[in-house]
Amino acid sequence: MRKIVIAGNWKMYKDLEDVRAFCKAIASSLKTKDLGSVLPILAPAYPFLALMQRELADTLVKVAAQDVSAHAEGAFTGEVSAAMLSSLGLEYSIIGHSERRAHHNESNEIVREKLLLLMDNGIKPILCVGETLAQRDAGETQKVILDQLEGCLRNVTIYGAEDIMIAYEPVWAIGTGRTATGEQAQEVHRIIRTWLKNTYNDVLADELPILYGGSVKPENIAGLLAMPDLDGGLIGGASLKADQYLEMIDIALKSRK
Ligand code: 13P
């Protein structure tokens, strides 16, 4: 059975005090709760990774990075390597987010380099894919998603479904309040799962978690989680508020799986 992942991507929000307050607000309830098949993940900015690991050490929350360098090591001022993240004991890192692709010109090839470095260092990539509104309106959604999957995973061996997650994040739904309907998300999640089946194998396609991201919030997450191929959310804005994050975990606990 696939897990339900409730992953918060905090982007460039929250300072030290905010991070501490958030951890304090969620730690006690996530310590005692039986989360069953729900996996909570939170991705703060780099400076707070180690602090959050400490603050949430007694909980089931996994702390993740939002990105990683495409280089293994060297004179790359401001970059953080996969080996550094691994030395912290991190298990997950987001890569290929549309904000990185758009504002930092990250191609599928660069995302692939990052993915390989993460996997070499024992960190599970949360690989983001998604189409823009113009691409959707032009009827290119499937082509864009398949191009991204093929580009980012070209000749990449995936041994098990726990090695990687994929997040479908339609660019037009990110930070806009305009969520994809459950049916719109399901259609693309099915495309992704079918691609995994054709490229890898049935077991991997069946077990690999595919998350949805784009204006997910407590009000709409139940409808999204009801979709058969949707295994959780990669959540921006609504994950910044402790009460909303906890509420989404509660809703996930009550959902089908
Ligand atoms: P929002 O939930 O704020 O739309 O952000 C989604 C996202 O980009 C998560 O990675």
Whether the CB-CB separation of 80 and 118 falls below 8 Å is answered with no
Query: pTM value?
Result: 0.97
What kind and span of H or E run contains 206?
A: helix 202-207
One digit per residue, pLDDT tens: the chain, 257 residues?
Answer: 899 999 999 999 999 999 999 999 999 889 877 888 999 999 999 999 999 999 999 999 999 999 999 999 999 999 999 999 999 999 999 999 999 999 999 999 999 999 999 999 999 999 999 999 999 999 999 999 999 999 999 999 999 999 999 999 999 999 888 888 999 999 999 999 999 999 999 999 999 999 999 999 999 999 999 999 999 999 999 999 999 999 999 999 999 65
pLDDT single digits (tens) 42-66: 999 999 999 999 999 999 999 999 9
Q: Which domain does 40 fall in, by range?
A: 4-255
CA 69 – ligand 1 centroid, Å: 21
Q: Is 209 in the pocket of ligand 1 (CB under 6 A)?
A: no
pLDDT recorded at residue 159: 93
The verdict on whether 140 is a catalytic residue reads no
Task: Extract the tokens encoding 219.
Answer: 């009000």
Largest CA distance in the chain: 49
> Which of 5, 6, 9 best tests ligand 1's pocket when mutated (most atoms within 8 Å of CB)?
9
The verdict on whether 169 is a catalytic residue reads yes
C-alpha dist (Å) from residue 214 to 32, 71, 85, 167, 221: 30, 29, 26, 10, 11
pLDDT recorded at residue 256: 61
C-alpha dist (Å) from residue 212 to 112, 161, 224: 20, 17, 8
pLDDT recorded at residue 50: 98
- Catalytic residue (one of 97, 106, 113, 131): 97
CATH number for the domain spanning 115: value is 3.20.20.70
Neighbours of 171 (CB within 10 A): 21
User: What is the total count of domains within the chain?
Assistant: 1
pLDDT recorded at residue 66: 98
CA 236 – ligand 1 centroid, Å: 4
Whether the CB-CB separation of 208 and 161 falls below 8 Å is answered with yes
Whether the CB-CB separation of 84 and 122 falls below 8 Å is answered with no
Residue with CA closest to ligand 1 atom 7: 236
Atom of ligand 1 nearest to the CA of 174: 4
| Chain position carrying tokens 């996530």 | 30
Q: Is 214 in the pocket of ligand 1 (CB under 6 A)?
A: yes
Q: What is the phi/psi pair of residue 165, to 5°?
A: -125, 155
Q: Is 215 in the pocket of ligand 1 (CB under 6 A)?
A: yes
Q: Do strands 62-65 and 38-43 pair parallel, antiparallel, or not at all (unpaired)?
A: parallel
pLDDT single digits (tens) 132-149: 999 999 999 999 999 999
Atom of ligand 1 nearest to the CA of 94: 10
pLDDT recorded at residue 31: 85
